[in-house]
Each structure stands twice: as C-alpha cells, then as structure tokens.
Amino acid sequence: MRPFVSFVSTLALLSPALLWSGEAAAEIMPHRAEYVLRLGPAANAPRIGTAVHDLTQDCAGWHLKRDIRTEIALTASWKMSLASKLDSKETRNAFRYGIVQTQNGNPREIKGRVQRQAGELRAEVVAAGNPPNQFALPPPTLLPTAAIAHLVDRLNAGAASFPAMMFDAEVIGDAFLIEVTEQDKAAVRSARPADRPVALPKGKSWPVFMNFTRGRQQDQKPLFSVSALVFDNGVLDRLTVDTGLLSVTADLASLEMHKVPVCPRS
C-alpha cells in the first residue's frame, strides 16, 4: 500500500498553510480540488482512482478532509483496492488528525497529535491495537500546513533548491526531510488528451522536483520522489509520485475556491 499512500503524503506537504513564525507568509487559499489518478505518466496510462482534497479555513486555523480511492489490476486475477481518508485540524501550535486506511476491505485506523510547547515539538501517534508512540520531532520540523507556505515563499524568493523538514501523518507518522529543486517549465508533464480543461489559478506557478527521506535517517536513500506544478495560492497539478518500482500520477479534474473568513486582528 505504501507506494500509493506516498501520494497522500505529497498532498500533505502541498496543503494550504500559514507561517507561524511571524514572517510574511504566502497567501494560501482554501479550496476543494478533485484529481484523477493514473498508473504511470504515459498519455494513455490507465485510470486507477480519484482523490479529493478539501481545505477550509476558520479564524482558529485550517480543517483538511482528504479522500483517496484507488483500484489497481496488475494481472487478470490480481487486484488491489486501496483507500485513505484523512480528517485533520491545525492551529498555530497544534495538529490533530484521524486517518482510516483500507486495503482490500481491511481498515486500519490511526490517530495522532503534534503539539508545540515551550519551544519543543512533540508527537503522539496511536495505531489501532498498539500502544501510543510518543516522541520529540527535530526542531526545524514544520506542521503539515506550514510546509506549503514555506515552499511557496522560498520559490517566490527565487531559491533554486532548498531543504524542508515536515511532519507526515499518512506514510511514516514522523518527520520527512524534503529536498526541493525548481525545474524548468519544459519539465511540466503535459495534459493528457482525455483530460477536461480546468480553469487554473492565474498567479505564479513553479514546477518542482522533491526527494522524500526519513528525517531521522538522512543517510538513507529517498523513499520516493515527487514532481508537481505548484501555484502560489497552494493549488497543485501535474503530480507524479515515483517509488522506483512504479509511479502514480494525479491531474486536476475540478477546482473550487472557498471563501476566506474575515477574522479579528489579534
């Protein structure tokens, strides 16, 4: 299941966010994006599922619901159905989430929280049937919704490559080290002939390539790599996750921007 759930982790990185450090942050917008998933980057790659990424904002923070469903037939007699549902809330200093991941009808539930206290970021992850796993995260680790603003801000500042540390809920339940490199516009994967046109955001966008490595074991090889087109309001398109054995791609099928709340200044 992990190669396909890697797609979920990428969406976690590319979720809307605020930089809580007080620096000027990217103007990330709440939105609902629907994607078509295919097995591989070829123009005629078979469709294997869908993904819905629904992010809303209130005056307390962000609320993200994500629903990914796939069914893969590798042979005539061997099929695999995978699903992942995430429900998370993020505030200035905390991230709480629940996940249900299902493989061939067998569900697995995970709950977790990350809390910043006295300058330390601590996590607790509980998988059904297991005792709680409690640990401290490396100091530079960003909460999931802070990662995209950091990504956009660095790209907007003209950084050609840079690292980022991000807490990941769906793949490893720990910190990822992400090495980001901006690519040439020619590297953007083309739209497939079967894709319906989608009205894309009119702001800036950057094609990026990212390697994902365990944050605590940085001497190991990357678990997977990702290429994507990132817009300055947090929307993404032309996403490809490559594990070395296979790749899963996601193309934007529909986009709806949500209203931004009017909140009192603190």
Query: Tens digit of pLDDT for each residue in 163-179?
Result: 999 999 988 999 999 99
Tally of CB atoms within 10 A around 91: 15
123 in any annotated domain: no
pLDDT of residue 75: 75
pLDDT of 15 higher than 90: no
pLDDT bracket for residue 266 (50, 70, 90) = low
In this structure, is residue 226 part of a structural domain?
yes
pTM: 0.87
What is the number of other CB atoms lying within 10 angstroms of the CB of residue 234?
25
Give me the mean pLDDT over the 225-237 stretch: 93
pLDDT for residue 224: 93
Q: Is residue 9 part of a domain?
A: yes
Contact 146, 18 (CB under 8 A): yes
Per-residue model confidence (pLDDT) at position 144: 79
Q: Report how far residue 251's alpha carbon sits from residue 214's, in angstroms, rounded to the nearest whole number.
A: 27
Asked, for residue 266, whether it belongs to a domain, the answer is no
The pLDDT mean for the chain works out to 86
Q: What are the tokens at 245?
A: 């054995």
Q: 203: domain range?
A: 2-77+139-257
Q: Would you say residue 3 has pLDDT above 50?
A: no
Mean pLDDT of 181-204: 88
Size of the chain in residues: 266
pLDDT in tens, 150-163: 999 999 999 999 99
pLDDT tens by residue, 197-229? 899 888 899 999 999 999 877 667 899 999 999
pLDDT score at 254: 96
| Rg of the chain on CA atoms, in Å | 18
Q: Would you say residue 180 has pLDDT above 60?
A: yes
Nearest residue to 130 (alpha-carbon basis) of 149, 111, 145, 114: 111
Closest CA to 110 of 83, 90, 92, 85: 85
**pLDDT-based confidence at 245, cuts 50/70/90?**
confident
- 207 falls within a domain: yes
Q: What was the pLDDT predicted at 98? A: 97
- pLDDT of the residue at 126: 96
Domain annotation covers residue 93: no
Token readout for 197 is 């046109």
C-alpha–C-alpha distance, residues 1 and 81, integer Å:
9
CA dist 131 to 14, 116, 126, 127, 134, Å? 30, 22, 7, 8, 9
Query: Per-residue pLDDT for 66 more than 80?
Result: yes
The C-alpha atoms of residue 109 and residue 89 are separated, in whole angstroms, by 17
CB contact set of 48 (below 8 Å; sequence gap of 6+): 37, 38, 39, 70, 71, 72, 248
Q: Is residue 52 part of a domain?
A: yes
Residue 25's pLDDT is: 56
- 17 pLDDT exceeds 90? no
How many domains is the chain partitioned into structurally? 1
- pLDDT of amino acid 21: 36
Residue 4 has pLDDT above 60, yes or no: no
pLDDT classification of 128: cutoffs 50, 70, 90: confident
Residue 95 lies in a domain: no
Question: Is it the case that residue 112 has pLDDT exceeding 90?
Answer: yes
153-173 as b/e, with b when 16 or more CB fall inside 10 Å? Answer: bbbeeeeeeeebbbbbbbbbb
